[in-house]
């Protein structure tokens, strides 16, 4: 089992819809979770971090964390074509500052 | 100030040659990370530095790979006797991690990467 797993996609959604991206992780004691966005040919950039169970909202983005089920998700409301990118989930290894990234989910927002 | 910079931006080399990749982190950032990203794949952790020490080298694929960092500044990733499977984008990131901090300090800022092609 991979440490951080994501569906590679592509996930296609129409413009204006909600895009839901999911990530599961294997280390039950993980505490720190991150979503990065990577446009094709570019470097990743942080969208959101989440540390506590529940939802965290930032503009059109909502991160959801469920530690009991070991998953973290990212919702993008009112999806725009400019949101088309690969979304990478990252989890910090407990007791370290080492981050494990998932393979990413490619999102395509159709105009 | 400037972001993370990496050089060279592109490197084409012949199998068996050594290459050196350079990363200049954001000034004041104590943590520095190296990742490898093969075409269409996710980020593969290689090594990270806290200051000039490397608490975790577990991601280095083989003993052909090594990295060093001078103080809380420049880092170099060296690949000896390159192989075709080393072809990838090598990404460097830095973050402001200090003992006892979290959240904002954990944001990793990535450089533009070095695209390595081994022929």
Contact A88 B43 (CB under 8 A): yes
Contact B106 A101 (CB under 8 A): no
- Chain B contact present for A79, CB below 8 A: no
What are the pLDDT digits (tens) for B71-83?
A: 779 999 999 999 9
Residue of A45, A96, A101 with shortest CB distance to B43: A101
| Res. B98 pLDDT band, cuts 50 70 90 | low
- Chain B contact present for A7, CB below 8 A: no
In this predicted structure, the answer to whether residue B29 has a pLDDT above a threshold of 80 is yes
DSSP one-letter code for B7: E
- Chain B contact present for A13, CB below 8 A: no
Q: From the CB of residue B55, how many other CB atoms can be counted at a distance below 10 Å? A: 14
Cβ atoms of B50 and B28 closer than 8 Å: no
What are the pLDDT digits (tens) for B2-22?
A: 899 999 999 999 999 999 999
Q: What is the residue-level pLDDT of chain A in tens, covering all 111 positions?
A: 678 999 988 999 999 999 999 999 999 999 899 999 999 999 999 999 999 999 999 999 999 999 999 999 999 999 999 999 999 999 998 888 889 999 999 999 999
Burial class (CB in 10 A: 0-12, 13-18, 19+), B69: buried
Contact A99 B33 (CB under 8 A): yes
């Amino acid at each position: 089992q991979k440490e951080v797993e994501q569906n590679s996609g592509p996930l296609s959604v129409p413009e204006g819809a909600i895009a839901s991206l999911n990530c599961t992780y294997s280390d039950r004691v993980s505490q720190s979770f991150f979503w990065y966005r990577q446009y094709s040919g570019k470097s990743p950039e942080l969208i959101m971090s989440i540390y506590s169970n529940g939802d965290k909202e930032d503009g059109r983005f909502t991160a959801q964390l469920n530690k009991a089920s070991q998953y973290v998700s990212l919702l993008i409301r009112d999806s725009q074509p400019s949101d088309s990118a690969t979304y990478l989930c990252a989890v910090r290894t407990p007791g370290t500052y080492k981050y494990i990234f998932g393979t990413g989910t490619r999102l395509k927002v159709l105009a | 100030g400037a972001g993370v910079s990496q050089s060279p931006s592109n490197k084409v080399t012949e199998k068996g040659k050594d290459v050196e990749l350079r990363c200049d982190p954001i000034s004041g950032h104590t943590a520095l990370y190296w990742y490898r990203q093969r075409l269409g794949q996710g980020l593969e952790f290689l090594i990270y530095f806290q200051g000039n020490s490397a608490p975790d080298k577990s991601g280095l694929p083989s003993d052909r790979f090594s990295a060093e960092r001078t103080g809380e500044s420049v880092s170099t990733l060296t690949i000896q006797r390159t192989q075709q499977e080393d072809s990838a984008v090598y990404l460097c990131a830095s973050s402001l991690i200090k003992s006892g901090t979290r959240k904002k300090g954990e944001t990793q800022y990535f450089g533009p990467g070095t695209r390595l092609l081994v022929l």
